[in-house]
Amino acid sequence: MARRRAKSKTLSFQRIQSSTKMLPELPKDLVEEILCRVTATSLNRLRTTCRAWNRLIEDDRRFATKHLEKAPKEFIPLMLRKEYRVFPFSVNHHKNDPSVVFKREVKLIYRLSNYRFRIDRVFHCDGLLLCTSDENESRIVVWNPFTRETRWIEAGLKRRDFTFLLGYSQVTSSKSYKILSFRSGRNDSEIYDLNSDSWRRLFDNDHSLELTVRYSGHSVSLKGNIYRFYGEETGTKSLLRFDFATEKSEILPLPYQCDSYDAKILSVVGEDKLSVLLKRCRKGSKTEIWVTNGIDDTTKAVSWTKVLALNLSKELQITDRGSFLLDEEKKVVQICERWFDNGDDENYNSDMLYVVGEGKKDLITVYEVPDIRVCWPAILNYVPSFAQIKLAGGKRKRGH
């Protein structure tokens, strides 16, 4: 059966190759319009059938941006695991024994050796992953796992104490990818521009960038802007949006205010929505999942809809360190968290995936964590793209 399917796929691919040779010459603009509406994974397979297509996909930065905007999006769940490595995963919802199924590791290799980069934090934007390491490493890396391109960036002494977040500004059809770096309690934030290959000091007079963002769940990138939680001196909790085009921060409201939260985590839903998980510090309070309907750029008003209100048992430990993915249509949320046993034996600590929603509640032990000093787990939805990482001098480096 497997041989039959493999043979069928081979024949289908051969038919595509032969049909492309038989196609009449089409205007270049029309070809682009057709190709930019094909999913990234399908287009990646087709590129070998035509040299002109391959050149367009590999070398035309304008096409990469156009494809990212127009092609149907694919979402691949990734998990950063305790061993500092990234894996695609899916959930097997077997009634008696639900489990997490991991696929082949997505490897990030040093450019001049076969040594694997030890990832302790990962941040997603436009199909690019910004990765940092907890080792004595002076560099950070922007990585496109889909095209295997990497951009190694010297961060120097800033590396150890700083938080790094990836976004972009856009003029017409051209995107300029940038990295925001900052640390808690200091007025020394900087921006790195991938086009100019340079760091420069940032002066944000509206709101300081002093709030520490230690964990992946505290910051997300949406349409090039950075969103994260912000705590004002009055005690008000808000969202802070950093716009790479204006290089300014803006305060946006959360769905509701309370004195304190047991947990507050950010995520992205689809292509254009923010989602927030909130749990009040109050006995018997529900864990709520909210999604934005829209954000008014002029008034800064945010329209929210509550998607889920969950009565979670005490065994489901959810903190600010967690991360989550929401299926808005099915009203199911996956929450990744490290579970700590109340006893003295640290061998009972485990990394967990909670799959909860309307009529569904699965508690899956991903693996035990005998040493809590290992990497904190995180999940994200990766969007395959042909986003190009321009190197200094205009060259691009393809990874191993």
pLDDT value at position 218?
75
d(CA 351, CA 371): 11
d(CA 384, CA 358): 30
Q: Are residues 232 and 316 in the same domain?
A: yes
Asked whether residue 182 is domain-assigned, the answer is yes
Q: Please list the alpha-helical segments (H only) found in the chain.
A: 2-22, 28-35, 40-46, 51-59, 61-70
d(CA 28, CA 32): 6
Q: Are residues 33 and 153 in the same domain?
A: no
Residue 91 tokens read as 């959930």
Neighbour count for residue 324 (Cβ, 10 Å): 25
Q: Are residues 41 and 175 in the same domain?
A: no
- Three-state DSSP state, 209: coil
Total of domains in the chain: 2
Q: What is the mean pLDDT of residues 293-312?
A: 89
Q: Percent of the chain scored above 70 by pLDDT?
A: 79
| Model pLDDT for residues 159-185, shown as the tens digit of each residue | 667 889 999 998 877 889 999 998 766
Q: Are residues 121 and 41 in the same domain?
A: no
Residue 243 tokens read as 């716009």
Amino acid found at 355: V
Q: Are residues 277 and 296 in the same domain?
A: yes
Q: Are residues 206 and 230 in the same domain?
A: yes
- Nearest Cα to 63, choosing from 316, 318, 386? 386
pLDDT value at position 8?
45
Amino acid found at 296: D
pLDDT value at position 122?
95
Q: Are residues 209 and 331 in the same domain?
A: yes
Q: Are residues 207 and 315 in the same domain?
A: yes
pLDDT value at position 399?
47
Asked whether residue 37 is domain-assigned, the answer is yes
pLDDT value at position 112?
67
Q: Which residue among 70, 87, 117 closes a domain?
A: 70
State yes or no: pLDDT of 115 exceeds 50. yes
Asked whether residue 224 is domain-assigned, the answer is yes
| Model pLDDT for residues 141-158, shown as the tens digit of each residue | 999 999 999 999 998 766
Handedness of CA 196, 199, 200, 203 (dihedral sign): positive
Q: Which residue among 11, 41, 70 closes a domain?
A: 70
Give the sheet arrangement for strand 149-154, strand by strand: 121-125, 128-132, 139-144, 149-154
Neighbour count for residue 360 (Cβ, 10 Å): 13
Q: Are residues 309 and 178 in the same domain?
A: yes
Q: Which residue among 54, 70, 86 closes a domain?
A: 70
Domain boundaries, position 39: 2-70
Asked whether residue 360 is domain-assigned, the answer is yes
Let me know: does 364 contact 350? Beta carbons within 8 Å. Answer: no
| Model pLDDT for residues 62-90, shown as the tens digit of each residue | 899 899 999 999 999 999 998 899 999 99
pLDDT value at position 209?
53
Asked whether residue 210 is domain-assigned, the answer is yes
Angle at Cα 302 formed by Cα 299 and Cα 306, nearest 5°? 165
d(CA 271, CA 294): 12
- The more confidently predicted of residues 341 and 20 is 341
| Model pLDDT for residues 313-361, shown as the tens digit of each residue | 766 778 888 999 999 999 999 999 888 776 555 556 888 888 988 777 7
Angle at Cα 147 formed by Cα 5 and Cα 16, nearest 5°? 40
pLDDT range class, residue 12, cuts 50, 70, 90? very low
Asked whether residue 333 is domain-assigned, the answer is yes
Distances in Å between the Cα of 74 and the Cα atoms of 10, 237, 381, 390 are 24, 33, 9, 24
Q: Are residues 223 and 89 in the same domain?
A: yes
Place of tokens 């070398």: 59
d(CA 253, CA 324): 20
pLDDT value at position 360?
75
Instruction: Give the pairing type, strands 128-132 and 302-310.
Output: unpaired
CATH number at residue 222: 2.120.10
pLDDT value at position 6?
43
Identify any residues that bridge with 123 across adjacent strands, giving them in sequence order. Answer: 130
pLDDT range class, residue 227, cuts 50, 70, 90? very high
Q: Are residues 93 and 61 in the same domain?
A: no
Asked whether residue 400 is domain-assigned, the answer is no
Asked whether residue 399 is domain-assigned, the answer is no
Neighbour count for residue 166 (Cβ, 10 Å): 25
Q: Are residues 130 and 65 in the same domain?
A: no
- Nearest Cα to 209, choosing from 186, 177, 233, 176? 186
- Three-state DSSP state, 3: helix
State yes or no: pLDDT of 215 exceeds 70. no
